[in-house]
Amino acid sequence: MTDLTVFGASGQPASTQPAPTKSILTVDERTRRRNRSESRFRMMGKAAVTFGIVALIGLLVSIMSNGLTSFQQTYISIDVYLDPAVLDKAGNRDPADIAKVSTFGYLPLIEKALGDAIAAKGLAAEGLTAKAAAELISKESPADLRRFVMSDPSMVGETQRFDFLAAGRIDGYYKGRVTMASAQLDRNVSPEQLVLADTLKEDGILTTKFNWSFFTAPDASDTRPEAAGLGVAIIGSAYMMLIVLVLSLPLGVATSIYLEEFAPQNWFTDLIEVNIANRAAVPSIVFGILGLAVLINFVGLPQSAPIVGGLVLTLMTLPTIIIATRSALKAVPPSIRDAALGVGASKMQSIFHHVLPLAMPGILTGAIIGLARALGETAPLLLIGMVAFVREYPSGPPDGFFQPASALPVQIYNWTQRGDPAFVERASGAIIVLLVFLVLMNLLAIVLRRRFERRW
């Protein structure tokens, strides 16, 4: 018993054990196991990186494959005779009289025009009434036609060539969303209509063109995905970014200068620091609640207005700009300050004439990155009413800041909530537009940093 405790489990003194005699060139089992685990670990690292990159690529590919088609749109070009017997019964071309003809009054003109076009080409619309054939054309078209006539009443009585939007389902047929089989089950489109569309395409009446109106047109109602565009949303986002830039850059720079150069070490400064540091802790939706409770209900600013969105996003962007500005100010070497003070500048002069200009590239880079983040922010804007359906363009600034508008990310959310699958295409297309803006802004930031940033 006592021997065992003295000499260990082997029962022999350790010193008497013969040393293992083997070459270090032959790898024993234990080393092999350790090497295997080493390479396994390394593989896991590579796998994790691969997963991250595959996820990024998958995300982008999914959005691209769904959205790229939204930049193409199917149009039907036909000659429409603007019949005075329908549009101007009094015959005096008085805009007030023409205005009395409602949108529905224009529908027969389009029906007739399409019927004539089909007949003129010697095609046959088998199994389709004139009305069903006209359903190939978007429901938005009579309104477009009316707008055209109202803008120029002298055109009544003329024949004019129009590019009408094709209906959403017809457009979807050429983008692979609608097939003959699905049309059988769909009450919005029939296989006969698709056959007619094909014959029109062969004849060059139905064409596919680049979709400019996607960037300029306002939103459209649930049943007219083909007419929906991003115009109002782009303007709304641009207004908000303008407000964010104008407010957050001076405020952020002023705060940073104060904290970096002037603030005394006391509880008050600490309070400001803590407030800025913990801003990242506040979920973005809470800023939306702030906007709703304080800016809309308490101050009484209008709902859905870019001014409210801009203010909320300013508060969210400020910490980003403050952090970037402070590190840019810190990066300016003290010798610059000392030299300025040495030749008799005041502290304020040394900062505003020397330190700030040198820190400017860093500050602008931070501001652009903050703006890019603000541009993609959705949740707070939902709460301040920017989900509203807005068709009218806001007027120019500053009045337009107080009028209802949409915003790019909110418009995307809005479209995902609609029934027609064509809106998924629109939403993905809108995301591509949003991402292009973000990439451009980030590239600008990178260029600024590369070209102007000085290393000391």
Partner 1 sequence: MDVSMIFLCVAVLAALGYVLGRRQALALSASRGIKLHSLPGYYGQTVALLTAVPALILLCAWLLVQPGIIETRVSGMIPDSVVPQGGAQSLVMADVRRIANGLGAVQARAEQAGADVDVEELDFNNVRARLAQVGVALGSDVPSEVFEAAKTYRQSSDFGHLLMTIAVLALAVGSLPLAYMRIAPELRARNLSESFVKWLLMLSSLVAILTTVGIVGSLVFETYVFFTLYPWQDFFFSATWNPQFRGGSDLGILPLLWGTFYVSIISLIVAVPIGLMIAVFLSEYAGPRTRSIVKPAIEMLAGIPTIVYGLFALITVGPFLRDWFAQPLGLGTSSSSVLTAGLVMGVMIIPFVSSLSDDIINAVPQSLRDGSYALGSTQSETIKKVVLPAALPGIVGAILLAASRAIGETMIVVLGAGAAAKLDINPFEAMTTVTVKIVSQLTGDTEFASPETLVAFALGLTLFVITLCLNVMALYIVRKYREQYE
Q: Scan residues 312-341 and list those touching partner 1 (CB under 8 A).
A: 315, 318-319, 322
From candidates 87, 98, 290, 405, binder to partner 1 by CB under 8 A = 290
**How far is the C-alpha of 77 from the C-alpha of 352, rounded, in Å?**
61
Instruction: Give 65: exposed, middle or buried? Use CB within 10 Å, 0-12, 13-18, 19+.
Output: exposed
DSSP designation for 198: H
Task: Report if residue 189 touches partner 1, rule: CB under 8 A.
Answer: no
Residues between 198 and 217 with contacts to partner 1, criterion CB under 8 A: none
Residues in the chain: 456
Residues between 342 and 361 with contacts to partner 1, criterion CB under 8 A: 346-348
Task: Report if residue 414 touches partner 1, rule: CB under 8 A.
Answer: no
From candidates 294, 331, 336, 341, binder to partner 1 by CB under 8 A = 294
Provide, rounded to whole angstroms, the least separation between the CB of residue 160 and partner 1. 37
Provide, rounded to whole angstroms, the least separation between the CB of residue 300 and partner 1. 10
Task: Report if residue 167 touches partner 1, rule: CB under 8 A.
Answer: no
Task: Report if residue 143 touches partner 1, rule: CB under 8 A.
Answer: no
- How many other C-beta atoms lie within 10 A of the C-beta of residue 204? 9
**How far is the C-alpha of 413 from the C-alpha of 387, rounded, in Å?**
8
**Residue among 168 and 409 whose Cβ is closer to partner 1:** 409
From candidates 128, 228, 257, 305, binder to partner 1 by CB under 8 A = 257
Residue written as token pair 């009305």: 131
| Sequence letter at residue 43 | M
Provide, rounded to whole angstroms, the least separation between the CB of residue 28 and partner 1. 14
Q: 442: which 2 tokens?
A: 């980030």
Task: Report if residue 275 touches partner 1, rule: CB under 8 A.
Answer: yes
Query: 361 and 453 in contact (C-beta within 8 Å)?
Result: yes
- How many other C-beta atoms lie within 10 A of the C-beta of residue 321? 28
Query: 305 and 313 in contact (C-beta within 8 Å)?
Result: no
Question: Which residues lie closer than 8 Å to 407 by C-beta, 6 or more apart?
Answer: 233, 236, 237, 240, 306, 309, 381, 386
Task: Report if residue 395 touches partner 1, rule: CB under 8 A.
Answer: no
Residues between 66 and 95 with contacts to partner 1, criterion CB under 8 A: 66
Task: Report if residue 27 touches partner 1, rule: CB under 8 A.
Answer: no
Task: Report if residue 440 touches partner 1, rule: CB under 8 A.
Answer: no
Instruction: Give 87: exposed, middle or buried? Use CB within 10 Å, 0-12, 13-18, 19+.
Output: buried
Q: Where does this chain touch partner 1 (CB under 8 A) — which range of 1-9, 138-146, 210-218, 290-298? A: 290-298
Question: Which residues lie closer than 8 Å to 442 by C-beta, 6 or more apart?
Answer: 368, 369, 372
Q: 426: which 2 tokens?
A: 């629109």
Closest CA to 112 of 149, 89, 86: 86
Closest CA to 253 of 185, 325, 312, 182: 325
Closest CA to 308 of 394, 214, 430, 428: 394
Provide, rounded to whole angstroms, the least separation between the CB of residue 229 and partner 1. 18
Residues between 224 and 253 with contacts to partner 1, criterion CB under 8 A: 250-251
**Residue among 173 and 437 whose Cβ is closer to partner 1:** 437
**Residue among 10 and 37 whose Cβ is closer to partner 1:** 37
Closest CA to 173 of 183, 165, 163: 183
Task: Report if residue 416 touches partner 1, rule: CB under 8 A.
Answer: yes
**Residue among 119 and 388 whose Cβ is closer to partner 1:** 388
With CB under 8 A, what is the number of residues at the site for partner 1?
85
**Residue among 107 and 289 whose Cβ is closer to partner 1:** 289
Task: Report if residue 47 touches partner 1, rule: CB under 8 A.
Answer: yes
**How far is the C-alpha of 120 from the C-alpha of 123, rounded, in Å?**
8
Residues between 98 and 137 with contacts to partner 1, criterion CB under 8 A: none
- How many other C-beta atoms lie within 10 A of the C-beta of residue 80? 22
From candidates 27, 59, 339, 447, binder to partner 1 by CB under 8 A = 59
**How far is the C-alpha of 410 from the C-alpha of 350, rounded, in Å?**
44
Residue written as token pair 């807005």: 390
From candidates 217, 307, 383, 448, binder to partner 1 by CB under 8 A = 383
From candidates 286, 336, 358, 360, binder to partner 1 by CB under 8 A = 286
**Residue among 104 and 298 whose Cβ is closer to partner 1:** 298
**Residue among 55 and 120 whose Cβ is closer to partner 1:** 55
Q: Where does this chain touch partner 1 (CB under 8 A) — which range of 196-204, 206-214, 233-241, 255-263? A: 255-263
Task: Report if residue 443 touches partner 1, rule: CB under 8 A.
Answer: no
**Residue among 47 and 90 whose Cβ is closer to partner 1:** 47
Residue 108, preceding bond cis, omega within 30 degrees?
no
From candidates 271, 436, 440, 447, binder to partner 1 by CB under 8 A = 271
Task: Report if residue 431 touches partner 1, rule: CB under 8 A.
Answer: yes
**Residue among 100 and 347 whose Cβ is closer to partner 1:** 347
